[in-house]
């Protein structure tokens, strides 16, 4: 298991307001080495053509990956911040729910790299994203 501490999905889903809460992102599953979250595809996250905006997919990917890093790092001493995120949008989604499954590619002392795959309601891959996270000493900004 990669998680440093026990994980309670209820706690993850009741974090004070943050970007993901505006898009109704919900954590739904945790396994030994994956964290999964969902996001409803509604007009709130559409682009002008009536399909899921790529930026919303990236928010979903960065949200699930950043939370995963926070569950791996020693957050008493360190904080995790996104360094780089990329995404390949493979299939449009007009409605329903998308599901992001996050798994580690690299878990180092100073960086984490996550593979995030986003699927539609029928299990088709719609987006592939990679997130690199910096693990830095905790400090005020």
C-alpha to C-alpha distance for 30 and 11, rounded to whole angstroms: 13
Examine the residue annotation and report whether 29 is marked as an active-site residue of this protein.
no
Among the residues of 5-138, which ranges form H helices? Answer: 9-12, 19-22, 54-72
Catalytic residue among 17, 32, 62, 84: 62
Judged by DSSP in three states, 89 sits in: strand
Lookup: tokens for 137? 């000493």
Can you count the helices (H) and strands (E) in the chain?
A: 3, 6
Ramachandran angles phi, psi of 7, nearest 5°:
-115, 130
Residues designated as active site: 62
């Amino acid at each position: 298991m990669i998680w440093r501490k026990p994980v309670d999905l209820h706690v993850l889903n009741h974090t004070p307001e943050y970007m993901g809460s505006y898009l109704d992102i919900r954590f739904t599953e945790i396994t030994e080495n994956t964290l999964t979250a969902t996001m409803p595809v509604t007009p709130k996250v559409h682009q002008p053509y009536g399909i899921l905006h790529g930026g919303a997919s990236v928010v979903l990917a960065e949200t699930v990956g950043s939370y995963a890093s926070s569950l791996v790092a020693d957050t008493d001493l360190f904080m995790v911040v996104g360094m780089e995120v990329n995404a390949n949008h493979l299939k449009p989604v007009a409605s329903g729910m998308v599901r992001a499954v996050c798994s580690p590619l690299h878990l180092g002392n100073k960086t984490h790299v996550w593979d995030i795959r986003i699927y539609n309601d029928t299990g088709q891959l719609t987006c592939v994203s990679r997130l690199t996270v910096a693990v830095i000493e905790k400090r005020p900004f």
